[in-house]
């Protein structure tokens, strides 16, 4: 276990600069175990440490792993250009501790989005070598036919790809809706595959990444939650990548 001074603890959780955190502590805004601490040099074991700031209790986390049910018209960028960024849906301190989206969903695509401040985790989850299946529900402009499903399973050729791209699985779930599972994660892949197969994607939602599903998380659009060890394990492949 590691011990850190209280100012280092508060700063590491995204509540401002070291100087600002020391002022918060000196002003009596921080308590640990129900006791107000005004000495920023006081040290505490960090593992699972709860502390209260401005009357709200937080638990120390070396890194945060977050699932968000992304609504439409939010950009997966720290510097959005045309729509609000997804970080505006999270507590402000997450931006201070450099939380960022793991991969991207288009501004009009909804559903499961991961965010973290753990660089190796972000890199591993974003790596095209992982082949972690992602499940999407696409609403189509034209009815879903057996021929369309067959084309998506067999593979369609996109203009800038050297070889056809195919779905891991694909099935119709309504007259104009299908569930498609992909491993590649190419730019606008579902939309472009549907267009190449002769249809058009009018709405898209990501419902699962690996074994982690929105249904199990129970998040309404715009809601988020921390991911624990059991949930993070659902994002790992059997070979440990």
Q: Which tokens sit at 22?
A: 């020391």
Pick the CATH number of 3-59 from 2.40.50.140, 1.20.120.1200, 3.10.290.10, 3.40.50.720: 3.10.290.10
Fold of domain 134-209: Alpha-Beta Plaits (3.30.70)
* Separation of alpha carbons 228 and 240, rounded Å: 17
Contact by Cβ (8 Å): 197, 151 = yes
Task: Report the distance separating Cα 122 and Cα 145, nearest Å.
Answer: 37
Of the two residues 156 and 66, the one the predictor is more confident about is 66
pTM check: above 0.85: yes
Q: Name the segment(s) of the chain with CATH classification 3.30.70.1560.
A: 134-209
What does the alpha-carbon distance between residue 127 and residue 138 come to, in Å, rounded to a whole number?
24
Active site residues: 106
For residue range 102-125, list pLDDT tens digits in order.
988 888 999 999 999 999 999 888
Position 237 scores a pLDDT of 58
pLDDT band (50, 70, 90) for residue 32: very high
CA distances from 179 to 17, 138, 148, 224, 227 (A): 46, 6, 12, 23, 25
């Amino acid at each position: 276990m590691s011990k850190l001074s209280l100012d280092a603890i508060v700063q590491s959780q995204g509540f401002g600069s070291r100087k600002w955190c020391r002022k918060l502590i000196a002003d009596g805004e921080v308590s640990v175990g129900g006791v107000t601490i005004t000495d920023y040099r006081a040290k505490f074991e960090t593992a699972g440490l709860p502390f209260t700031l401005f009357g709200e209790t937080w638990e120390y986390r070396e890194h945060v792993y977050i699932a968000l049910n992304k609504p439409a018209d939010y950009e997966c960028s720290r510097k959005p250009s045309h729509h609000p960024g997804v970080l505006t849906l999270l507590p402000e301190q997450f931006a201070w501790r450099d939380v960022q989206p793991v991969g991207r969903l288009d501004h009009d695509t909804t559903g499961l989005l991961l965010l973290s401040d753990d660089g190796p985790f972000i890199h591993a989850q974003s790596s095209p070598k992982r082949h972690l299946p992602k499940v999407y529900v696409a609403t189509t402009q034209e009815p879903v036919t057996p021929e369309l499903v067959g084309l998506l399973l067999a593979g369609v050729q996109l203009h800038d790809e050297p070889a056809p791209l195919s779905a891991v699985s694909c099935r119709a779930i309504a007259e104009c809706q299908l569930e498609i599972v992909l491993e590649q994660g190419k730019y606008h892949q579902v939309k472009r595959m549907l267009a190449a197969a002769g249809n058009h994607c009018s709405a898209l939602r990501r419902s699962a990444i690996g074994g982690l599903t929105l249904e199990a998380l129970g998040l309404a659009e715009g809601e988020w939650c921390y991911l624990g060890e059991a949930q993070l394990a659902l994002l790992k492949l059997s070979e440990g990548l």
